[in-house]
Structure formats: C-alpha cells, structure tokens
Structure 1
Amino acid sequence: MSQMRQVTTRPTERPSPRFTLNTDGGRHPLTNFLTVATLMLGIMAFVTGFIVDSHIVASWVGALGFWGGLYVQYISVTTAQRCLIIAGVVTSFVGMALGVAHGGFVPHV
C-alpha cells in the first residue's frame, strides 16, 4: 500500500487593504496633493452651489477646480488618482454651473 502524504500549509497573512493613490509602487506627492485638492475644491463648489447667497464662491471655486482638475488629469500617473480627479472635475463643474445660475462670478448690486 502506498501512503499519501498530507501537505498542510498555513494561510499566508495578507496585509489589510488600505487606500492608496500610489498603486504603481512609486511616490507621487505632488500629483497626490493636487488630486486631493481637486476633489476638495469640487466638493466645496458643489455644496456652495446649492446656497444662493454663495454664488460667487461656488462660481470661482468651481472654475478653479474644473480647470485645475483638467491639468491634474493631464499629469496624473495612476488610475486611483484619475478616478478621484474625475469626481472632483464633475462636482466642480456642477457647483460652478449652479453658482452661475444663481448669479455668477460678480456680486449683485
């Protein structure tokens, strides 16, 4: 009779998943900062776009987030960065559009 060996292996410990923008293994501090800044500008423009009296802030912050986000998209390196940048660009545009609809870039007289 042949005897079968039983092979037992321990499960390999995997590190807990964490969010990173550097999915390629390199460091990209400038593009990471600009990515987060684009997203924050987009959120700020989107939120202030719903407040009629803050149409100036929504318009200018939205324009800055939109055009800045397009530049950051151009220099981005990883897919994770591009995903957050597009979210920031879209929310910036919507916030800017709402700000323009409520009065635009200049104060009411």
Structure 2
Amino acid sequence: MPHVFGPARQGRFRFTLNSDGRPHTVENALSVVTVVCGLAAFAAGFLPAMHVLASWAGALGLGVGLYSQYVSATRPERALNIVGIVASFVGVAFGVHHGGFLP
C-alpha cells in the first residue's frame, strides 16, 4: 500500500460531460440548452416585467430537460440536466405568477 504513505498525485482538473470516453454531441448539446434556458428563466423570473420570457424559457427548458434526461448517457449530463430542470421550473413558476405566457 505505497499510496497510503506517499504523496497523492493530483491530476489536472478537466471538466467533461463525456466521462465514459465516447462523444455524445447531441446529449451534451441538449444538456447545455437545458441549463441555458433554465438560467434565463430563473433570472427573468425575478423581474415581473419579464414574465413572458421567464414563462416560455422555463417551459422550453423543462421540455428539453426532461427529454435530455431520458436520453442522457453519463452522470455529468444527468447532473447538468437536473440543475437546468430545477431552474426552469422555478423560472416558469415565477413567470406564471407574475402574469403568464402572454403579455
């Protein structure tokens, strides 16, 4: 057990959604779209004048996020999907509370 007493080697941190080593371009793109829509809906949800953007971006983020969760291949994709889905839900809830989908 030399690794117990010796210094631990730390590799360079590298963020990747392809933790299995295979490219998943469609799944990665869906995850990123989910997070972008979720963050836009979340940010717009706090402003009552932006209720239309919050509602539509949140609804789009929820739909894309649920499909992306269904087809995801790796754990980092699923984690990103959950962040986007929750942000989309909060954004669409605030948007509906402030006035809904129509101006």
TM over 0.5: yes
Aligned counterpart in structure 2 of residue 19 of structure 1, from 5, 15, 37 = 15
Amino acid aligned to 1:25:
G
CA contact (8 A) 2:51 2:94 kept: yes
**In the alignment, which residue of structure 2 is the partner of 1:97?**
93
Instruction: Confirm whether residue 81 of structure 1 aligns to residue 73 of structure 2.
Output: no
Q: How many equivalent pairs are there? A: 97
In structure 2, how many angstroms separate the alpha carbons of the residues matched to 1:104 and 1:63? 11
Secondary structure, aligned partner of 2:102: coil
Deviation at 1:14, TM superposition (A): 5.8
Secondary structure of the residue aligned to 2:69 is helix
| RMSD (Å), alpha carbons | 1.4
Identical residues among aligned pairs (%): 52
Show structure 2 runs of 5+ residues with no match: 1-6
Normalized per residue, the structure richer in helix is 2
- The equivalent position to 1:40 in structure 2, one of 36, 60, 64, is 36
Q: Deviations over 1:9-47 (max 9, x none)?
A: xx8x76412110000111001111110110011000000
TM-score (ref. length: structure 1): 0.84
User: Which runs of 4 or more aligned residues in structure 1 lie more than 3 Å from their structure 2 counterparts after TM superposition?
Assistant: none
Residue ranges of structure 1 left out of the alignment (5+ in a row): 1-10
